[in-house]
Amino acid sequence: MSLINILKPTIYIISGLGADKRMFQNFSFEGFEVVHIDWDLPLENETLQNYALRISENIKDENAILIGLSFGGILSVEISKIKKFKKVFLLSSAKTKFEIPFYYRFLGKLNLLRIIPSSILKRVNSLTYLVFGAKTNAEKSLLEDIVRNTDERFLKWALHQIMNWKNEDYSENIIHIQGDSDLILPHIFVKYDYLLKGGTHFMTLNQSKEIETIIIENLL
């Protein structure tokens, strides 16, 4: 291990719902040790808080940095209540239930996920590309692969957790980066620290350098 890695904390990254480290393929984080935390299937009737406790066991370093994308950001908020971090960065995400759009929360109260077939939730078409902000062929292909390979049980569990999230508080060391063109979690509902012009829910792919610069500047 180099001296620079000894001096700098580890960056832990939790990607979006069902996604993997490919969402951060354009980031370098030079000089930092980067650990991508993989999603695990939830246990039967597992709460988000208990899931966060289980996932937090993968984080060994004290005073580390945590980056969460989308649902990974929501999970990061819960993990930050369990472990201390130097900084927590949320990308295209939400810090409290109040930042989850009201229409998602309304659907959560109706519990419609119970009767909606998973096959409908896993359909990918031109509207899906538009909503997620996948514009290039590579981005569209990645989105298709993420949706196709997301476990159906995990997908329904995660959507239920998002729609029924009860959290109302968060750590002061959270820095929230949102895109002004995000149609999944619109910035009008979010109390953000940075707003990226043209940023969609896929902004980690096409605005990676801008995001990485913000993160690094907040670690100096």
Burial of 67 (C-beta count, 10 Å sphere; 0-12/13-18/19+): buried
pTM metric for this prediction: 0.93
* Strands, E assignment, the chain: 11-14, 34-36, 64-69, 85-91, 174-179, 194-196
Taken in order of first residue, the domains within the chain and their CATH numbers are 3-217 (3.40.50.1820)
Using pLDDT thresholds of 50, 70 and 90, give the confidence band for residue 6. Answer: low
Residue with tokens 């509207």: 127
Q: Model confidence over 155-168: pLDDT tens digits?
A: 999 999 999 999 99
The CA distance from 56 to 54, in Å, is 5
Q: Model confidence over 197-206: pLDDT tens digits?
A: 999 999 999 9
Q: Model confidence over 27-73: pLDDT tens digits?
A: 999 989 999 999 999 999 999 999 999 999 989 888 899 999 999 99
* Strands, E assignment, 115-217: 174-179, 194-196
CB-side exposure of 21: number of CA atoms within 13 Å?
A: 10
Q: Are 69 and 92 in contact (CB under 8 A)?
A: yes
